[in-house]
Each structure stands twice: as structure tokens, then as C-alpha cells.
Amino acid sequence: MTVVRTPLVVGNWKMNGAFEANRALIEALLALLAQKPLPALGVCPPFPYVPQIGALLAGSPIGWGGQTVSEHRGGAYTGQVSAPMLRDLGCTYVIVGHSERRQYCGETDEQVSLQAVAALDSGLIPIICVGESADEEAAGQTLAVIDRQLAPVLTTLAGVADEGASVVIAYDPVWAIGTGKTPTPEGVQKVHAHIRQRLMDAGLVQSRILYGGSVKGSNAATLFALPDVDGGLIGGAALDAQDFSTICTAAANRAV
Ligand code: PEP
């Protein structure tokens, strides 16, 4: 099988947005990106705004998605949203296991693996987040933490996903999210190469690995030039059309 890892950029709006501001942001983004080379591209607004963003992006090359998904297909799970529901809303992507969900909602490695399978089962592309805390980084535990987070995901996916499955891993060091700090390029590449090896061992040869954590227009080209970085998961900068478009261009210009 020919391995093609098209660069991917996904904006995570977190719990930000309002109808008017969303419209202005998407219109500005579409204007900035018109006639530019594009990576594969998605934006993930809060659930209430998914239909609005879907309507604004319909017919454009930009996809949209959710910020989490239930591991269940339906039933008595008050407050949860299922993968088939996200598909009904035209979603392409869903973020799972973001560190803010792990920290504030107690999501476990096992649960994240089931969410990823639920997403794949419904034809969504799961963007599975992993990454170490500041304390874990200081203790030199980065790779061990990532192995622990990935283990149930890879075991579960090995049973259901073929080698061409659209699975995306996002390396999001917790200490880099929203802090303006990033690991060194060498540090990012080391972790991505490690994740790549784990994916290859599990037969997921086509999977892309995104870097997330304080990516901006000013550092995107350096990060995306790294051999095992296939694009980015973007938080704060996804709320700024100019910065986000610069990041998208940096990804599109990355040699595949
Ligand atoms: C994120 O939320 O996954 C993220 C990477 O945030 P930021 O870009 O703001 O650091």
C-alpha cells in the first residue's frame, strides 16, 4: 500500500464562540484561504455551533467536527453526544481524549480508546490526543506516559481498523497547551518518531501524527517541517483567522 500522509490542520475552538463571532471568523478564514494551497483542514466548535459551522462551510474544502464523542451509540447517557449524531451533522472529524477532557471530566485511557472506535465505526476520523503533564515531563516520563495512553487505543484499534484506517494521533504536551511554550523541535520529533513506531507496530501505517500546543503562525513552519509531524491541532490560534490561515499555509507547504 502506498503511504500518503496528507498534512492536516484542525482547529479546536474549545468552549469559545457565539453566533455572530463564529460567522465573522469563518468568513474571514474563507476569504484568507481562497486560492491558497490548503492542507486537509477542519474546525471543531462547541456542539451547539456545529450546525452553524457546517452550514457556513458547506461546499468549501474545510471540514468540521466535534470536540468529544460518547463511546456509546445511544441510550440513557444524559448530556452525551454519539458518533452517529455527529455524522448526521455532517462532521468529518472528532477530537477524543483531549487533556482538558481527561483532567476535568475524568476520561480514562480505556474510555478514549472506545470513543475512537465509536468514531471510526460511524465513519468519523478520530483525533486522539496524548501528552504528558509538566511534572511528568520534568520527571523524564514523557514516552512512558504516551505509551500508557496509547496502549488501549492501539490494542482496541488493532481489532477493528485496517492499515489504511483514518486514525489521527495528536501529541499535545499538557504543559504546552495555551502557555506559549513548546518543546524544542528535536523534542517534538523524538516523541513523534516514537508514536510513529508504535503505530507501525500496530499496523496503522497510514495514520497521521499532529503536534498541538502553542502552535502559532510564527512557529508552524518549523514544527511542520519535522519529518514525523503531519500537521497540527490548534487551540488559541484557531480563533484568529489571520494566524490560523498562516498555520494552514505552513502545513500545505510541507513536503508530503
Ligand atoms: C489544544 O487545545 O489542543 C491546543 C493545542 O491549544 P493551544 O494551541 O491553545 O495551545
* CB-based burial, 35-70: b 16+ in 10 Å, e otherwise: eeebbbbbbbbeeebbebbbebbeeeebbbbbbbbb
Closest approach atom of ligand 1 to CA 212:
5
Closest approach atom of ligand 1 to CA 176:
10
Quick check: helix, strand or coil at residue 160? Answer: helix
Site to substitute for ligand 1 among 219, 234, 244, 246, most atoms within 8 A of C-beta:
234
Instruction: Kindly report the pTM of this predicted structure.
Output: 0.96
Q: What is the mean pLDDT of each run of 10 residues along the chain (256 residues)?
A: 85 98 98 93 98 97 98 97 98 98 97 96 97 98 98 87 80 98 98 96 91 98 97 98 97 84
Pairing between β-strand 63-66 and β-strand 125-130 as defined by DSSP bridges:
unpaired
- Give the residue carrying C-alpha cell 468514531: 119
CA of 2 to the centre of ligand 1 (A): 31
Tens digit of each residue's pLDDT (9 = 90 or more) over 185-233: 999 999 999 999 999 998 888 899 999 999 999 999 999 999 999 999 9
Q: Return the CA Rg of the chain.
A: 17
Do you know the residue count of the chain?
256
CA of 13 to the centre of ligand 1 (A): 9
